[in-house]
Structure 1
Amino acid sequence: MSKEITKPQQFCKVQTQWADDESAQFNQEQKDLLASLYEGEISKLSQGKIVTGRVIKADNDGVLVDIGFKSYGLIPPYEFSKLDLQKITPGSDIEVMLEDLENVDGNVSLSYEQAKAMRAWDTIMKLFEEGKPVEGIVTHKVKGGLSVDIGIPAFLPGSQVDLQRVADFDQFVGQPITAYIIKVNKKRGNVIISRRKFLNELRSESRKKILGTLSENQIIQGIVKNITNYGVFIDIGGVDGLLHITDMTWGRIAHPSELVRIGDKITVKVLSFDKDNEKISLGMKQLTENPWDKVAEGLTLGSKVKGKISSITDYGFFVEIQKGVEGLVHISEISWTDRIDNLHKHFKPGDEIEAVIVSIDKDNRRMSLSIKQLQDNPWKQVSDRFKVGQIVKGPITNITDFGVFIQLMPGIDGLVHISDLSWTEHIAHPADVFKRGQEVEAVILGIDEQNKRVSLGIKQLTPDPWATIELSYPVGSTVEGEVSKIINFGAFVKLPNGIEGLVHISELSDQNVEKVEDVLKVGQKRQFRVIKISKEDHKLGLSLKTNDFVPEKTKEKTSSAPKRGPVKTKSEEMAAKPKSLLQIELEKHAARQKTAADEQANEDKE
């Protein structure tokens, strides 16, 4: 900004003449008048007083004010809010506090902020004592609430901003509000206000009017105040009514927010009204006719219908076949053969589908639909095409830890349980032996059409080697075997026909053995003697001992009922119980000791 320069020719020359006569002297009366006028003006401009001045200009440097003194006062801009500055114009009047008639720079020192605070405190204390509300402007957010200009900064706690919890305080910044003063500390300059208290008072007056005129079946308008999972709270003029989710639409919705939003103005019907407890139930769907009353006569059991998926749940999905009329397709009614665990992978809301009506209840507004019944049940063909004992071949469709699934026909799988994979192999997991897509043969062991199950077996393709174990490896015979696995108490040995037998650590040598690895190694082939056979338990006992062997009788399963004999003693019952391998070995050792003693006695006699 350029400055105006005063040129010498702009000055004028003034001639002064001082009179020496007595006419220039003031008499006493004039002196007294001048003194009184001076004292009167000075008393008005005393330090600490509030005076009214005229705004000369207002800019970024501040507000220049004329209070009728010899110089102007400049008030710094930080003492004014944005709203204050918008109201101030050159020529307008303004109240200021006179801090100093003449500061170090020879200028008048003024303060708008102190004058405003002094006036405000008078008003605040008066309103607080009389219990009246105060008006102010929200200036900005602070920790825990809002700062409100009511002449001085006042604190509005977040819990006192509205009747309901407020998540976004920014919406109030710059807005005028009315609130009650709930706490004042003039010494510290603190004022706490409550807008909630003021709104509650207004609400209470409005509630009385509404409750006096409200009646059932009355149609009214309200504003959506809050949305929950179970419904919507509607403000109907100071009173809250509940619009339950089941009363929002004749159709089905997952959440009320699908139809309304907070702040929406909607029309509702009063369903019930409890004046004593001030509970109001509202309905929105009741404003229209029940579509189930007009369900077409063509919607009967077995008829085919088309519609769009309106919502998906864990147990099925709902299909809207008419406006407000929905049917449920249960997850079990989607496919005859496919195992569907996650409906969201196969369907989505809005998909159009065709289904068959399997049940309908117009009174309770319920309808069950089925997709799979659009086609014939393939399980009805299973009993016709397959028989127990039949050998089938197909690809492996799935492998689990309990077995493998083999496809018999499109949509029909049979299960080979892990126990039916091999007579002799110990399979930890089917995936160690089989792969998806691999073609395999199996024998049908059973068909359960009702439960949709087909049991298969792979090991049944070959004879059970345990059925002829006594002929192949009789007790006492010697057989070659390969050590397949070593454990703490012995070793497993695989025989030529695939059967595995166990040689206990006590049967490894005539001498005491501490570790199995000292005698046998995995993969090593040795000659073993068969000492025990149990066809029923699929167990075969082997031995490496070279001393005399006393064979055990092979266990046989008898179907005849036991003969009733005399009551056995406790010692006889214990003797009749199955003996452990350790007991057998101890008895053998005792027998050998007795034989050796008898032979020594005979030699002594001779």
Structure 2
Amino acid sequence: MSTASTGNEPKLDRAALAALYEETFRNLEEGTITEGRVVALTKDKVVVDIGYKSEGMIPSDQFSPDDLQALKVGDSLQVYIEECEDDDGNLVLSKEKADKMKIWEELEKLFNEEKSIDGKIISRIKGGMMVDIGVKAFLPGSQIDLHPVRDLDGLVGKTFPLKIIKINHRRGNVVVSRRVLLEETRDKKRQTTLANLKEGQLIQGMVKNITDYGAFIDLGGIDGLLHITDMSWGRVGHPSEMFTVGDRVEVNVLKYDRETGRISLGLKQKSADPWTNVAGKYPIGTRVRGRVVSLTDYGAFIELEPGVEGLVHVSEMSWTHEVRHPSRVVTVGDQVEAAVLNVDPASRKISLGMKQTAPNPWDMIESKYPIGTKIEGKVKSLTDFGAFIGLEEGIDGLIHISDMSWTKHIKHPSELFKKAQKVDAVVLRIDKEKERLSLGFKQLSRDPWDDEIPARYHVSDSVTGKVSKVADFGIFIELEGGVEGLIHISEAGLDGAAKLEEKFKLLDDVTAKIIKVDREERKIALSLREHQSDSDRRQVDEYHSTQGALDQSLGRAAKQSRKKSQAED
């Protein structure tokens, strides 16, 4: 049933009707997000009704292929109002900007509530990394980790939980941090760890850093020090021999100082001290086998069991030759046999000997080279005091300089011997304890001092020889038979500041007087001064003898002359 018009209603003009028409639409603002309904789908557009006087068109390229395929007429859609009317009177909408507005709203909410968001690192830029959290955000290098990261490029493509620390929607700037979250996690772990930490407990940790003196272990937000001396009951040269950064390890809490926060850790304390029964397990004289674990200039360390090492000094490695460095005999990893020489549990030291596992050639030296035996050897080295002669491997004898000649003064062994020269010698003495064998070269011939020299040379005799050496204290004269005599500087008859080397030259002929023949010391002392005095005395005596004969002759002549005069008278 319709209501008839009474004809009394007020008439509305065209402008009023237009205004009334406008009020029937929703009150919409540009730059805001609103909800619309899909009313049509075309190849390149999506038509959306937002309750406005006209529908809005959204380009299809603002949708992903998956979103387009799933989209149906009637679906609700959040859109951004760019313009209510463009130049052509069309409503301009954007899904892309609506999505970004929603993301910014979510980011600001997370920022205000101090919550985290997952972000994917997409590239490395100056000062840090670019991260995708829905919009592009900046992750400063100092905020990536608790410690400086060396390989930043290796992080690209990885996703991490991040915290927004600065946001500016108008400028489109977002700064995020991973370090803040790591610090929060570390602090929570630290509080939990400290609350439960007790001395003597076993705790799991991760090797965080290695130094020369130990390893720092992350126990869960707090670090403890595992000192090198607490890593093993045995010797550890460097912590890196046992650990690498990142290793998981179970350690014992040795000490926890709540005031300073310092935590001392131990690894070896998890097992019993192997040195407790070392003295009973390795008595002196026992033969043992072990592995060479390290070498030093003075010896080799042998591991007998985990935590127990002994030292073989270089002097205990071989009977047969002098070892200058242990690397000449063994290498790290070798299995060797040794004898226990000494055990000091208090100092945690075991002295070992490798040569003691083989026969000592010096035990047979007396039977092999009896005193008086003539031997043949080769000169191995020359020193100021003698020549070392090699008889066999590890057995050397010494010809002392005093046993090189009966008659000559030898200043240096090189006057008689050269290195590698074959020589004969006589065994004089054997000291098995000190491993010394004394040899004699002059003993190969009879001692001329027994009878020959004392019979040939007598005190007061004048002898002639050649200068063989000139020393500071005198001149050596080689006499007949190869024996040497010495003219001491006090017997050289020098005048004033004259020097021996200026007056006497090698091989000069010199005549001197024998003033001493010492059979015990095997020395002949000569004197030029006394020889000259004797010569002068003889000349005076000869003069007086000649003058007396002349006087007698003149006297007889005078007497005869007087007798003749008397006879004439």
TM superposition shift of 1:322: 3.2
1:237 to 2:220 alignment: yes
Give the 5 Å matches for 1:245-394: 245-295=228-278, 297-344=280-327, 346-379=329-362, 392-394=375-377
Give the number of the structure whose alpha-carbon radius of gyration is greater. Answer: 2
SS at match of 2:184: helix
Aligned partners of 1:261, 1:87: CA distance in 2, in Å?
A: 49
Equivalent residue number for residue 423 of structure 1: 415
Aligned partners of 1:440, 1:102: CA distance in 2, in Å?
A: 122
* Residue of structure 2 aligned with 1:201, choices 165, 172, 184: 184
* Residue of structure 1 aligned with 2:200, choices 217, 224, 229: 217
TM superposition shift of 1:300: 0.8
* Residue of structure 1 aligned with 2:140, choices 146, 156, 170: 156
Structure 1 residues 170 and 184: CA distance shift in structure 2, 3 A: same
Equivalent residue number for residue 488 of structure 1: none
SS at match of 1:249: coil
CA contact (8 A) 1:421 1:457 kept: no
CA contact (8 A) 2:340 2:352 kept: yes
TM-score (norm 1): 0.54
TM superposition shift of 1:35: 6.9
Structure 1 residues 422 and 320: CA distance shift in structure 2, 3 A: closer
Structure 1 residues 372 and 116: CA distance shift in structure 2, 3 A: farther
TM superposition shift of 1:186: 8.3
Equivalent residue number for residue 534 of structure 1: 470
Deviations 1:472-507 (A, max 9, x none): 536xxxxxxxxxxxxxxxxxxxxxxxx8xxxxxxxx
CA contact (8 A) 1:252 1:326 kept: yes
CA contact (8 A) 1:223 1:235 kept: yes
Aligned partners of 1:165, 1:202: CA distance in 2, in Å?
A: 18
Which structure 1 residue ranges, 5 or more long, are not aligned?
A: 1-26, 56-63, 77-84, 426-432, 463-469, 475-498, 500-532, 541-553, 561-573, 583-606
Aligned partners of 1:160, 1:337: CA distance in 2, in Å?
A: 67
TM superposition shift of 1:307: 2.3
TM superposition shift of 1:332: 2.6
CA contact (8 A) 1:117 1:152 kept: no
CA contact (8 A) 1:52 1:67 kept: no
Letter in 2 for 1:556: I
Aligned partners of 2:437, 2:60: CA distance in 1, in Å?
A: 103
Aligned partners of 1:461, 1:147: CA distance in 2, in Å?
A: 96
Deviations 1:238-273 (A, max 9, x none): 111122233223334434344444333332221111
Structure 1 residues 32 and 129: CA distance shift in structure 2, 3 A: closer
TM-score (norm 2): 0.57
Aligned partners of 2:342, 2:214: CA distance in 1, in Å?
A: 29
Aligned partners of 2:65, 2:489: CA distance in 1, in Å?
A: 111
TM superposition shift of 1:371: 0.7
TM superposition shift of 1:286: 1.7
Aligned partners of 1:310, 1:89: CA distance in 2, in Å?
A: 71
CA contact (8 A) 1:269 1:287 kept: yes
TM superposition shift of 1:197: 3.8
Letter in 2 for 1:423: E
CA contact (8 A) 1:310 1:318 kept: yes
CA contact (8 A) 1:273 1:280 kept: yes
Aligned partners of 1:460, 1:193: CA distance in 2, in Å?
A: 98
Structure 1 residues 181 and 35: CA distance shift in structure 2, 3 A: closer
Aligned partners of 1:261, 1:38: CA distance in 2, in Å?
A: 72
CA contact (8 A) 1:102 1:109 kept: no
Structure 1 residues 254 and 38: CA distance shift in structure 2, 3 A: same
Aligned partners of 1:95, 1:451: CA distance in 2, in Å?
A: 104
* Residue of structure 2 aligned with 1:228, choices 211, 232, 254: 211
SS at match of 2:322: coil
Identical-pair percentage? 38
CA contact (8 A) 2:128 2:140 kept: yes
TM superposition shift of 1:37: 8.8
Aligned partners of 1:291, 1:251: CA distance in 2, in Å?
A: 9
TM superposition shift of 1:415: 7.7
TM superposition shift of 1:216: 1.1
Aligned length: 438
For the aligned residue pairs, the C-alpha RMSD in angstroms reads 5.8
Deviations 1:318-358 (A, max 9, x none): 32323433322223321234333443454334322211111
Structure 1 residues 130 and 581: CA distance shift in structure 2, 3 A: farther
CA contact (8 A) 2:470 2:500 kept: no
CA contact (8 A) 1:54 1:66 kept: no
Structure 1 residues 342 and 67: CA distance shift in structure 2, 3 A: farther
Equivalent residue number for residue 406 of structure 2: none
Structure 1 residues 473 and 461: CA distance shift in structure 2, 3 A: farther
SS at match of 1:74: helix
Equivalent residue number for residue 473 of structure 1: 466
The answer to which of 313-322 and 231-240 deviates more is: 313-322
1:556 to 2:487 alignment: yes
Which structure 2 residue ranges, 5 or more long, are not aligned?
A: 1-13, 39-43, 49-55, 402-410, 446-462, 477-484, 504-569
CA contact (8 A) 1:226 1:233 kept: yes
Structure 1 residues 398 and 130: CA distance shift in structure 2, 3 A: farther
The answer to which of 86-95 and 269-278 deviates more is: 86-95
The answer to which of 367-376 and 306-315 deviates more is: 306-315
Structure 1 residues 323 and 38: CA distance shift in structure 2, 3 A: same
Aligned partners of 1:368, 1:385: CA distance in 2, in Å?
A: 31
The answer to which of 198-207 and 213-222 deviates more is: 198-207
SS at match of 1:556: strand
TM superposition shift of 1:279: 1.0
CA contact (8 A) 2:230 2:267 kept: yes
* Residue of structure 1 aligned with 2:61, choices 69, 74, 87: 74
Aligned partners of 2:498, 2:167: CA distance in 1, in Å?
A: 95
TM superposition shift of 1:123: 6.4
CA contact (8 A) 2:205 2:251 kept: yes
Deviations 1:44-91 (A, max 9, x none): 6x7xx7789999xxxxxxxx8847444625369xxxxxxxx9997854
CA contact (8 A) 2:313 2:352 kept: yes
SS at match of 1:225: strand
Letter in 1 for 2:415: W
CA contact (8 A) 2:314 2:325 kept: no
SS at match of 2:264: strand
CA contact (8 A) 1:221 1:265 kept: yes
SS at match of 1:155: strand
SS at match of 1:271: strand
Aligned partners of 2:119, 2:285: CA distance in 1, in Å?
A: 70
Letter in 1 for 2:59: Y
